[in-house]
Structure 1
Amino acid sequence: MPNIKSAKKRVKVIATKTAQNKAVKSALKTVIKKAYYAVDTNAANKTEAVSLAMKKIDQAAAKGIMHKNTAARSKSSLAKRLNASA
């Protein structure tokens, strides 16, 4: 445990940020899974699900939760699967 006041604060701030990032990552994974499921089952709302997933991926990349190249790869994979299902 840190002894210095600023170091104690850093520990608390990092814990808060880690919890927030974890929540965003978890929600992102859920949205991506729903999009893949909608495409695979040929659901009526598959385009909306994919567009929502792409939006969430962009937001995560903008916040630095996901690397921009990883985000681009995820979006490309979603788009490819959506176009193949049409």
Structure 2
Amino acid sequence: MANIKSAIKRIDVTKRNTLRNKSQKSELKNMIKKFENLIDTDKTDDASVLLRQIDKKLKKAVSKNVLHKNNASRKMSKLAKKLNSAK
């Protein structure tokens, strides 16, 4: 355990940020699973609406440094490709 006051504060900040990052990542994963289920059941209209929401969440995660820009781009590209092939 840290003895220096600033190190103790940094540990608290890291814990707080880790929880926030974890919740954003799990929310994204759940949305992606939902999107893939919609694709499997041939509900492409609902899937395209959800894809826009996923795009918005991914961009917000990038701006908050939860995900890397290229990682978000790759996820979005993969999902868009799935949607286009399903249509």
Aligned to 1:22: 22
Alpha-carbon offset, residue 32 of structure 1: 1.2
**After TM superposition, where is structure 1 displaced by more than 6 Å over at least 4 residues in a row?**
none
TM-score by length of 1: 0.91
The unaligned stretches of length 5 or more in structure 1 are none
Partner Cα separation in structure 2 for residue 71 and residue 29 of structure 1: 12
- Counterpart of 2:11, as a letter, is V
Unaligned runs of 5+ in 2: none
For the residues of structure 2 that align with 1:40 and 1:60, how far apart are their CA atoms? 26
Deviations 1:39-60 (A, max 9, x none): 2211241111111111111111
Aligned residue pair count: 86
Conserved 8 A contact 1:38-1:49: no
**TM-score normalised to the size of structure 2?**
0.91
